[in-house]
């Protein structure tokens, strides 16, 4: 009897529990390549989403990256077997070159709750500058002009033609266009001998006129810094130390040509930092110490020491002081 009982009981024990119904999100594709797109051409395409599971699917949220929007052709709650379209809209205004964007689809699919949909486009315009800004650092007042270039690439296969290029009010800045195939190279130069004596830095707007109907005038920001007559060694100070103790760093200010100058004043952005041991007399080199007080508490400090000088071409010099105290 016990043997027969075991035979009748065995099939009951071997029955497997059926899986619980669950939604399953599926897409016809997860990437769209729009190819070459004009910068003023708004485009759109769609992804088909379908619920291939055995329970209703809820699309909780759609998160687009900046520069694109979306719309849904239908509802966001899908029964098993139902589908809808998520249409992505892209406006390439202000963009250039290869652009990559995305949509993140968040649903209640237990196995795939977050799906990333991506698209790309090669945004072109009649003229495509390699950059819209240049930075000139360490310009000499006595040396030859410093030159940098910007390429104006043809985006439509036609010859780029520059009719004029100038920066109003900046007599020290020049631009000479040079043809390179269908592109144009802008040779931009800054002549330090023509910069006003007391000017240490500046930003100028270079306007480049072309024969393009879509881009008749291109604007470029030219930022520059002069190489100081007085050189600080080191030019910045950084401490990582324990709070509650005095910190010191040796600094030297020197004129590379050996000309004498005076330090008229030293100001700090914090009462915890000071410059001590400064000689008020005229000399070609001044050595002193920058001190951070033991009163400084734990934390991060980003301060500035400003020195007033009597040099006719450099009236001030700044030294950044950074400290991380534990």
Residues 207 and 250 reside in one and the same domain: no
Segment 217-260, tens digit of pLDDT: 999 999 998 877 788 999 899 999 999 999 999 999 998 778 89
Which of 124, 148, 165 is at the close of a domain? 124
4 inside domain: no
* Mean pLDDT in residue range 261-286: 94
Same structural domain, 111 and 139:
no
119 and 69 belong to one structural domain: yes
Taking only the tens place, the pLDDT of each residue in 89-132 is 998 887 888 999 999 999 999 999 999 999 999 988 899 999 99
Report if residue 11 sits inside a domain: no
155 with 181, same domain: the answer is: yes
| 6-20 b/e (C-beta count within 10 Å ≥ 16 → b) | eeeeeeeeeeeeeee
Mean pLDDT of the chain, nearest integer:
90
pLDDT tens digits along 46-71 = 999 999 999 999 999 999 987 788 88
Indicate whether 135 and 111 sit together in one domain: no
Res. 8: pLDDT tops 70: no
Among 170, 199, 224, residue at a domain's last position: 224
Distance of CA 263 to the CA centre of its chain: 38
- Residue 284 φ/ψ, nearest 5 degrees: -80, -15
193 lies in a domain?
yes
Instruction: Look at residue 16 and tell me if it is in a domain.
Output: no
Res. 16 pLDDT band, cuts 50 70 90: low
117 and 57 within one domain: yes
Quickly tell me which residue has 């390549």 as its tokens: 33
Q: What CATH number should be reported for the domain holding residue 200?
A: 2.60.40.10
Give the residue numbers spanning the domain of 241: 231-325
pLDDT at 230: 87
Say whether both 188 and 258 belong to one domain: no
Does residue 167 sit in the same domain as residue 244?
no
How far is Cα 107 from Cα 25, in angstroms, rounded to an integer?
8
pLDDT of 140 reads 84
Regarding whether 97 and 40 lie in a shared domain, the answer is yes
Residue 78 lies in a domain: yes
Residue 138: the pLDDT is 84
What is the percentage of the chain residues whose pLDDT exceeds 90?
70
Q: Which position has the higher pLDDT, 11 or 66? A: 66
Same structural domain for residues 138 and 214? yes
Structural domain contains residue 19: no
CA 298 to CA 306: how far, in whole Å?
24
In a domain, 187, yes or no: yes
| H-helix or E-strand spanning residue 87 | strand 83-90
Among 194, 224, 254, identify where a domain stops.
224
**Tally of domains within the chain:** 3
Residues 96 and 166 in one domain: no
Domain-located, residue 18: no
* Distances in whole angstroms, Cα of residue 203 to Cα of each of 133, 134, 156, 186: 10, 10, 31, 18
95 shares a domain with 183: no
């Amino acid at each position: 009897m016990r043997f027969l009982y075991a035979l009748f009981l065995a099939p009951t024990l071997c029955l497997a529990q059926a899986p619980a119904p669950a939604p399953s999100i599926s897409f016809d594709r997860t990437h769209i390549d729009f190819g070459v797109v004009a910068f003023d051409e708004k485009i759109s395409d769609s992804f088909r989403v379908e619920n291939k599971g055995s329970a209703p699917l809820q699309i909780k949220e759609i998160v687009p990256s900046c520069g694109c929007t979306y719309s849904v052709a239908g509802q966001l709650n899908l029964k098993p077997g139902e589908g809808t379209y998520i249409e992505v809209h892209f406006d390439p205004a202000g963009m250039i070159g290869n652009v990559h964007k995305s949509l993140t689809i968040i649903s209640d699919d237990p196995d795939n709750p977050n799906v990333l949909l991506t698209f790309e486009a090669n945004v072109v315009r009649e003229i495509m500058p390699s950059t819209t800004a240049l930075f000139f650092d360490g310009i000499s007042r006595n040396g030859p002009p410093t030159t940098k270039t910007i390429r104006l690439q043809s985006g439509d296969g036609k010859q780029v033609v520059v009719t004029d290029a100038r920066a109003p009010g900046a007599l020290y800045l020049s631009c000479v266009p040079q043809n390179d195939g269908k592109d144009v190279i802008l040779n931009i130069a800054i002549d330090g001998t023509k910069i006003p004596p007391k000017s240490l830095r500046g930003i100028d707007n270079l306007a480049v006129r072309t024969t393009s109907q879509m881009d008749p005038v291109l604007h470029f920001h030219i930022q520059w810094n002069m190489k100081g007559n007085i050189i600080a060694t080191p030019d910045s100070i950084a401490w990582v130390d324990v709070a509650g103790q005095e910190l010191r760093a040796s600094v030297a200010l020197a004129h590379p040509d050996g000309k004498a100058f005076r330090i008229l004043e030293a100001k700090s952005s914090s009462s915890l930092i000071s410059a001590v041991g400064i000689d008020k007399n005229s000399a070609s080199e001044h050595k002193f110490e920058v001190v951070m007080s033991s009163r400084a508490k734990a934390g991060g400090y980003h301060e500035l020491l400003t020195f007033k000088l009597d040099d006719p071409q450099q009236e001030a010099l700044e030294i950044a002081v950074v400290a991380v105290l534990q």
